[in-house]
Amino acid sequence: MIVKHLEDVLGTEADVDTEGWNSRRLIFKDAGMGYSVNDTIIKPGAVLDMAYRNHLETVYCIEGAGEITDLASGETHAIKVGTIYALNEHDHHILRANQGTHMRMVCVFNPPLTGREVHDETGAYAASD
Ligand code: 9YT
């Protein structure tokens, strides 16, 4: 059994901080679960253009508010606490946190992240194998 607390991850290698987001990687590939789980802060006003061509991702908002635009359809969906989205088609999307508030998201990736990934120039993470 693996039991951790967010505090065990803060300030370690698994606490990945970038300009627009801070991803605290709680469960990753080494755990052997077949998925990874992050507690991620999207910083206030961040605008993130992403397309995870190597991963599927489900994201559940537990704090804050913002919106997501599906660049295939052009549709924009509001995000608030309790909103969940699944990028089941490796969807190219833009995620925005509202000005003045962060969003806190629980992010599940399949296949799992190795722990240190940051986005490449296309908004993807490298394949882990
Ligand atoms: C929600 C989202 O895609 N944020 C970017 C960071 C990523 N999800 C991560 O590594 O936690």
CA proximity to 50, closest of 126, 122, 114: 122
Residues contacting 60, CB < 8 A, separation 6+: 83, 84, 105, 106, 107
Is pTM beyond 0.75 here?
A: yes
Looking at residue 45, its pLDDT comes to 96
pLDDT at 123: 78
Average of per-residue pLDDT values in the chain: 94
> Is the pLDDT assigned to residue 129 strictly greater than 70?
no
State the closest ligand 1 atom to the C-alpha of 23, by its place in the atom list counted from 1: 11
pLDDT of 101 > 80? The answer is: yes
Query: Higher confidence at residue 51 or residue 115?
Result: 51
Write down the pLDDT at residue 24: 96
Tell whether the model's pLDDT for residue 40 goes beyond 90: yes
- 63-77, 99-113, 115-129: the lowest-pLDDT one: 115-129
Atom of ligand 1 nearest to the CA of 42: 4
Lowest mean pLDDT among 1-15, 29-43, 47-61, 107-121: 107-121
- Give the residue, by CA position, lying nearest to ligand 1 atom 11: 23
Q: Is the dihedral of CA 52, 53, 55, 57 positive or negative?
A: positive
